[in-house]
């Protein structure tokens, strides 16, 4: 009796573990979807490079097919993970009430294990159907997601061809502008100057800055005349004294 009960118990927990594994595997198609929408965003922001080429029609065709597969994959994911009811054993408080209600019944143990076995059978059978349904839809979602990725890659081929041509034309225009840019002649200095200019540019010794003589005291005496003039004045003063 215990071996039979263990069999149903193992099957019950196996399907619950399988349910959790399928829920975790949901991250795979979601990651693929994220990659596809990221590619859509990049291609959409740079689609201007296709405007003047026939490659835009090939690009749009592949993007349309990829979008159809994305929609189908989204529908399968929605069906796989919404609206399913999983079965579980009765809550412990209800089982405890049942035991108290029939505690004087001599066949309580037999009835108890029969009830548990029936719950194992009913819930495990329902959970297995749900898991099989999820597996089927998850598989279809993954297949359609992979197809969508393939067509996004195919759409990127004409896109990058047009992008490469745009870069080549841009470089050619830049080089052309450099080649057509007029050469600015270097300014040449005059080979000779006029006599007036030579005379006006000659330095005058009288304009040379005056030397500074500072007395080592609190009083600072800075002469305002040329030292030669100061020397002459001093000589005249000495002669007058004589």
Specify the higher pLDDT residue, 192 or 97. 97
Q: Give the per-residue pLDDT at 172.
A: 44
**Spatial distance between the Cα atoms of 87 and 77, rounded to a whole number of angstroms:** 21
Q: What is the pLDDT averaged over residues 15-26?
A: 90
Is residue 221's pLDDT more than 90? no
Determine the Cα–Cα distance for residues 37 and 152; give it in Å rounded to an integer.
10
> Among 138, 167, 142, 18, which residue's Cα sits nearest to residue 86?
18
Of 63, 24, 91, 54, which Cα lies nearest the Cα of 165? 54
Highest mean pLDDT among 2-6, 98-102, 148-152, 196-200: 148-152
Which pLDDT belongs to residue 203? 55
What is the dihedral angle through the alpha carbons of 120, 122, 126, 131, rounded to the nearest 10 degrees? 20
């Amino acid at each position: 009796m215990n071996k039979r009960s263990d069999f149903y118990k193992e099957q019950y927990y196996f399907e619950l573990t399988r349910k959790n594994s399928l829920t975790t595997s949901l991250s795979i198609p979601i990651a693929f979807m994220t990659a596809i929408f990221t590619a859509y965003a990049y291609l959409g922001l740079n689609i201007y490079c296709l405007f003047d080429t026939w490659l835009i029609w090939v690009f749009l065709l592949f993007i349309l097919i990829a979008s159809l597969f994305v929609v189908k994959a989204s529908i399968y994911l929605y069906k796989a993970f919404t609206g399913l009811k999983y079965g579980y054993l009765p809550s412990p408080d209800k089982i405890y009430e049942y035991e108290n209600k029939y505690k004087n019944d001599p066949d309580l143990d037999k009835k108890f294990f029969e009830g548990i076995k029936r719950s194992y059978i009913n819930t495990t059978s329902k959970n297995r159907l749900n898991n099989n349904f999820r597996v089927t839809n998850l598989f279809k979602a993954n297949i359609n997601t992979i197809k969508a990725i393939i067509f996004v890659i195919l759409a990127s081929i004409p896109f990058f061809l047009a992008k490469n041509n745009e870069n080549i034309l841009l470089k050619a225009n830049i080089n052309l502008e450099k080649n057509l840019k007029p050469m600015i002649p270097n300014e040449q200095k005059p080979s000779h100057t006029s006599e007036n200019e030579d005379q006006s540019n000659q330095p005058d010794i009288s304009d040379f800055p005056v030397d500074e003589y500072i007395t080592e005291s609190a009083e600072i005496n800075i002469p305002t005349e040329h030292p030669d003039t100061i020397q002459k004045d001093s000589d005249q003063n000495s002669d007058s004294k004589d």
